[in-house]
Amino acid sequence: TAGQHAACWREFYTFIFLEILPLERSSEDVDIIFTRLKEVKAFEKFHPNLLQQICLCGYYENLEKGITLFRQGDIGTNWYAVLTGSLDVKVSDTSNHQDAVTICTLGIGTAFGESILDNTPRHATIVTREYSELLRIEQKDFKALWEKYRQHMSGLLTPPYGVMETGSNNDKPHIPHRPTKTITQVPSEKILRAGKILRNTILSRAPHMIRDRKYHLKTYRQCCVGTELVDWMMQQSPCVHSRTQAVGMWQVLLEEGVLNHVDQEHHFQDKYLFYRFLDDEREDAPLPTEEEKKECDEELQDTMLLLSQIGPDAHMRMILRKPPGQRTVDDLEFIYEELLHIKALSHLSTTVSIFKNIIHHQKGVFNQGEEGTSWYIILKGSVNVVIYGKGVVCTLHEGDDFGKLALVNDAPRAASIVLREDNCHFLRVDKEDFNRILRDVEANTVRLKEHDQDVLVLEKIPAGNRVSNQVNSQPQHKYIVMSGTPEKILEHFLETMRLEATLNEATDSILNDFIMMHCVFMPNSQLCPALMAQYPFPSQGTEQEKMDYALNNKRRVIRLVLQWAALYGDLLQEDEAAMAFLEEFYVSVSDDTRMIAALKEQLPELEKVVKQVSEEPKAPQKKHKVLLQLFNTSDDRAQKRQPIRGSDEVLFKVYCIDQTYTTIRVPVSSSVKEVISAVADKLGSGEGLIIVKMSSGGEKVVLKPHDISVFTTLSVNGRLFACPRDQFDSLAPLPEQEGPSTGTVGTFELMSSKDLAHQMTIYDWELFNCVHELELIYHTFGRHNFKKTTANLDLFLRRFNEIQFWVVTEVCLCSQLSKRVQLLKKYIKIAAHCKEYKNLNSFFAIIMGLSNVAVSRLSLTWEDPSRNHRAYRLTVTKLDPPIIPFMPLLIKDMTFTHEGNKTFTDNLVNFEKMRMIANTVRTVKFCRSQSFNPDAALTNKNHQDVRSYVRQLNVIDNQRTLSQMSHRLEPRRA
């Protein structure tokens, strides 16, 4: 192709210029070589100044196949980088080169020959595997580059130089102090087992990875290479999606001594470094038997899942053990993302970046009466707070903090902190840094007062990453709202609104936060009059001044109203105050266009919005049928799913104590009080009636009279019961709630895994696309406070549970061991295809179904989703929409923020909290920013049977029943 020809000519000219002797190269020659070499993998991380020097001193070599570049034991004179081709690395245990064995191959982008730094003999023989082109640097030039650019080169070379720390004034590389062999003295049984499974699986599937390795004439027994371990890990499971995640998983084993670096380094690195499994430390390390190989194959996915869950914590600890000055940009980003989800720091959303350079790892506590020198945040484990004479007064867990009081009051410690478990980890912030945080926050705070009371609190933050053209210019800043009265917050946003910005511009996100969150602190009944109050003409100033002020002010209000109506959309139809305001506002703007012609530009858009919102929904009877389909999945007619509105009516069965039922017809958003009234009309009496939510396991919850929209909040097999209060104890689940007694593996094992994942994704997208962003806010703050339904969100969340229990149900109902094995493989394939389709909700539902105790029979718990799913969050940021997100995690994040922060502080709206929650809600908007287009090749085929199957899953959702079935299939071993 033309592109390939261009690339070939570019390489050709580069090599021609490299053949020019260094002293004869012009600056233009060097520029051409530089442009080419910076695209070569071996040099992609080199500092530009270093690469420029390489262009000045490097030579070009081209060798035919079979040429020996140098032999093992030779004293080296050159360093090389591979531009094209490949070379074999051969090592001999004897002096006879005929006995040499090829241990690896060097490909394009690799470099070798750094033994010239200390004049040690070559540790291997290098022979060209094919026609190859090399860049060669002579010893004297390479040593000069090393002395000048050691800090840039040390991390890119193979051991021992690649693991050496360098000092700025030392002539020789400085070998770092070797700490103790392991961080955890005694490995846990769980991680010991995980290491054994991984080692045995490697020996079974890729035995070449564990072998004796020779470097600089020294033999390292039975070792693996870091990069190869990472490569292998990523190939074994769909739950490993990045090299960084795999590094964290191997770090878990390294921390507990189940895997060891040959030089006792504590950090696992994705480099050409040698690691050895604990079992291979012995001279007579046993090979796995066939039975052990089979067991490891069966347990591998559970092991990978376990390590993927606890790996991020190990990665975090690995970073925190580094001195602050040695942390990379990626390290700091990882820490920053982690800190956002620590409870003690949740209120520091705008100042938390300060922690990037001042956090330290610490294993220690203090005693009552000691001087306060640090503030602590618990990363792992728990501690007791002990006061003399009182004993243990409380216990602190992960995410809690302690030690602030002594720093703020400059007083001795008021209590002792005692570890409750051996392996606790903390973030420690020194007193000086802690005081700087407080000082910087207060110095950047502006308070607006009225009648000696704060009405608006602003904080100064950097305006962004824009760089000024002036060399010594100060970074630009802006002020964001931290708290205030609702009216003052609205007034501030109107005053600072940028009229030239487009409606969807990212810089308008803070204004969108107000529009999205105002229902929490400023309902429409309060917002609409406030907007009208901001709209009239001013009464002071000249006619021209009043006209100019009125034009800008009115345009801002119109702009905000348009954004508000765009977000709320059809939901405004259910709000009489909002509808009346829109009509009144449109009339006012229409009247003003006679005096202010410039307002005519916005009038058509405002008219369009008012007409769309004001139109009454047509064909209510048709809409009622659509709603029936949403609640009755057996009706599988192919029609587009419509969002559920609070005013939609639903036919629903409410059961009595004798397990008969009555069918009521009420709006979806009906309160429990209204449901009782509807049931009473059917039964003839409602005196003393209560409504009870009953799960298949017999758990009963009495619903409160003000609870609304209870129909969609039931568990997968849950039912509603009505009974007198004194008969509550007699209620029992219905037989139909038990779920199926036979599995459907015979049906869906014939279906393609890809087809199943595809149809699941289509159905999940339909459900997800109906969820309004505001439903997440109603769900978080309590929908009864808004009297709004969250029916669409409820159904989407219930779908997650349905898929999770589908996996467990089918496995537990499958009596044949061989079929169960095939079933597990099929679910893993379906999960992989879901991930391929970016259906992360179903992907995680299947994974959690496979990790259910009834399936895995292992204690794989998700202790803290807000922390153990950090890898998921990073994945979402790297995916392009459309995406179906892991909705339970979004709900968890919002609940975490809501419960950890007050909505009002000193009678002011905590707008920082609003902004944090809105930021999570924006994830939903991002995931749907592109429309979902099903795979036409799959959709056009006859997949009606698959489509029907995935929409009518019949499951057992009683965990006790599932566990009992699991133990009947495979009784616990004695």
> pLDDT, tens digit, for every residue of 170-215?
333 333 333 334 455 567 888 999 999 999 999 999 999 999 887 7
Question: pLDDT for 16-28, tens place per residue?
Answer: 445 556 666 666 6
Question: How many other CB atoms are there within 10 angstroms of residue 439's CB atom?
Answer: 10
600: Cβ–Cβ under 8 A, 6 or more apart, which residues? 593
Rounded to the nearest integer, the mean pLDDT of the chain is 79
For residue 256, which of 317, 330, 333 has the smallest C-alpha distance?
A: 317
- Report the distance separating Cα 506 and Cα 589, nearest Å: 27
Helix (H, G, I), strand (E, B), or coil: what is residue 501? coil
* Residue 722 and residue 692 in contact, taking contact as beta carbons nearer than 8 Å: yes
- For residue 496, what pLDDT band results from cuts at 50, 70 and 90? confident
pLDDT digits (tens, 9 = 90+) for 598-625: 888 888 998 888 887 776 554 444 444 3
CATH architecture of structural domain 626-737: Roll (3.10)
Residue 320: left (phi > 0), alpha (psi -120 to 50), or beta?
alpha
Give the CATH fold of the 485-614 domain.
Answer: Son of sevenless (SoS) protein; Chain S, domain 1 (1.20.870)
CATH class for domain 744-969? mainly alpha
| First vs last C-alpha separation in the chain | 67
Across 922-941, average pLDDT: 80
Task: Please answer whether residues 362 and 375 qualify as being in contact, where contact means their C-beta atoms are separated by less than 8 angstroms.
Answer: no
Residue 869 pLDDT level (bands cut at 50, 70, 90): low
CA 405 to chain centre: 33
Q: What is the pLDDT of residue 500?
A: 67
As beta bridge partners, residue 385 has 394, 417
| 896's tokens | 């975490």
Contact 513, 910 (CB under 8 A): no
What pLDDT does residue 856 have?
A: 75
Kindly report, residue by residue over 498-543, the tens digit of the pLDDT: 776 554 444 467 788 999 999 999 999 999 999 998 887 766 667 7
Rounded Cα distance between 849 and 24, Å, is 68
Which residue bears the tokens 């199957």? 949
Q: What architecture (CATH level 2) is domain 342-438?
A: Sandwich (2.60)
Contacts of 804 (CB under 8 A, 6+ apart): 845, 846, 848, 849, 852
Q: CATH 1.10.840.10: which residues of the chain?
A: 744-969
Contact between residue 896 and residue 343 where contact means Cβ atoms under 8 Å apart = yes
What does the alpha-carbon distance between residue 121 and residue 137 come to, in Å, rounded to a whole number?
17
Give the residue with greater pLDDT, 321 vs 747.
747
User: Which pLDDT band holds residue 595 (cuts at 50, 70, 90)?
Assistant: confident
Owner of token pair 């196949």: 65
Which residues are CB-neighbours of 219 under 8 A, at least 6 positions away?
A: 212, 213
In the predicted structure, residue 157 carries a pLDDT above the cut 60: no
Residue 724, beta-bridge partner list: 689
**Which residue spans of the chain are classified as CATH 3.10.20.90?**
626-737
Q: Looking at the predicted structure, is the pLDDT value of residue 861 above 80?
A: no
Q: Can you tell me which residue has the tokens 């009782």?
A: 676
| DSSP codes, 287-303 | PPPHHHHHHHHHHHHHH
What pLDDT does 951 receive? Answer: 92
DSSP 73: T
Quickly count: other Cβ atoms within 10 Å of residue 825's Cβ: 12
d(CA 64, CA 132): 7
pLDDT in tens, 549-575: 788 888 889 999 999 998 888 888 888
| CATH 2.60.120.10 residue ranges for the chain | 14-154, 342-438
Is pLDDT at 860 greater than 60 in this prediction? no
Binning pLDDT at 50, 70 and 90, where does residue 219 land? confident
Tokens 């350079």 belong to residue? 357
Please tell me the total number of residues recorded for the chain in this structure: 974
pLDDT at residue 724 tops 50: yes
Residue 426 has pLDDT above 80, yes or no: no
CA-atom Rg of the chain in angstroms: 34
- What pLDDT is stored for residue 404 in this prediction? 77
pLDDT at residue 359 greater than cutoff 60:
no
pLDDT at residue 28, rounded to an integer: 64
- Which residues make beta-bridge pairs with 430? 374
C-alpha 52/C-alpha 50 separation (Å) is 5
Average pLDDT in the 30-38 region? 69
Residue 417: other Cβ atoms inside 10 A: 21
CATH number of 189-321: 1.10.10.10
387 SS3 class: strand
Q: 94: helix, coil or strand?
A: coil
Note whether 885 and 840 are within 8 A (CB): yes
Amino acid identity, position 26? S
Show the DSSP H helices in 121-212 as ranges. 139-153, 189-205
The pLDDT score that the predictor gives to residue 183 is 53
Distance of CA 529 to the CA centre of its chain: 40
CA distance 585 to 606: 9
Nearest Cα to 692, choosing from 640, 633, 732, 639?
732
Helix 753-769 to helix 817-836 angle (10° resolution) is 50
Going by DSSP bridges, is the β-strand pair 401-402/360-362 parallel, antiparallel, or unpaired? unpaired
Q: pLDDT value at position 959?
A: 92
Question: What pLDDT sits at residue 560?
Answer: 92
Cis peptide before 160 (omega within 30 of 0): yes
From 166-180, 341-355, 439-453, the region with the lowest mean pLDDT: 166-180
List Cβ<8 Å contacts ≥24 apart for 66-72.
Answer: 66/127, 66/128, 67/127, 67/128, 68/125, 68/126, 68/127, 69/126, 69/127, 69/128, 69/134, 70/122, 70/125, 70/126, 71/97, 71/122, 71/125, 72/97, 72/100, 72/121, 72/122, 72/123, 72/124, 72/125
Low-confidence winner among 424-433, 745-754, 800-809, 897-906 (lowest mean pLDDT)? 424-433
> Would you call the peptide bond into 885 cis, given omega within 30 degrees of 0 as the criterion?
no
Residue 799 tokens read as 């779908």
**583: phi then psi, degrees, rounded to nearest 5:** -65, -45
Answer yes or no: are the C-beta atoms of 708 and 789 closer than 8 Å: yes
Q: What is the pLDDT of residue 199?
A: 94
What percent of the chain shows pLDDT beyond 70? Answer: 77
CATH of 14-154, one of 3.40.50.2300, 2.60.120.10, 1.20.1260.60, 3.40.50.11740: 2.60.120.10
Q: Is the pLDDT of residue 943 over 60?
A: yes
Determine the Cα–Cα distance for residues 120 and 141; give it in Å rounded to an integer.
17
DSSP strands (E only) in 8-86: 59-63, 68-70, 78-84
Closest CA to 482 of 462, 458, 450: 458
Amino acid in position 186: V
Residue 628 has pLDDT above 50, yes or no: no
CATH 1.10.10.10 range(s) for the chain read 189-321
Model confidence at 355, pLDDT cuts 50, 70, 90, reads very low
Angle, CA 359 vertex, CA 356 and CA 362 arms, to 5°: 155
**Strand-pair category, 274-277 with 374-380:** unpaired
For 228, phi then psi, to 5°, come to -70, -40
Of 477-481, 635-639, 675-679, 967-971, the least confident = 635-639
819: Cβ–Cβ under 8 A, 6 or more apart, which residues?
Answer: 745, 749
Dihedrals phi, psi of 293, to nearest 5 degrees: -60, -40
Are the CB atoms for 785 and 706 separated by under 8 Å?
no
Please tell me the least confidently modeled range out of 308-312, 842-846, 881-885. 308-312
Cβ-defined contacts of 663-667 (< 8 Å, 24+): none
Q: State yes or no: pLDDT of 855 exceeds 90.
A: no
At a CB cut-off of 8 Å and minimum separation 6, what does 833 contact? 753, 754, 756, 757, 758
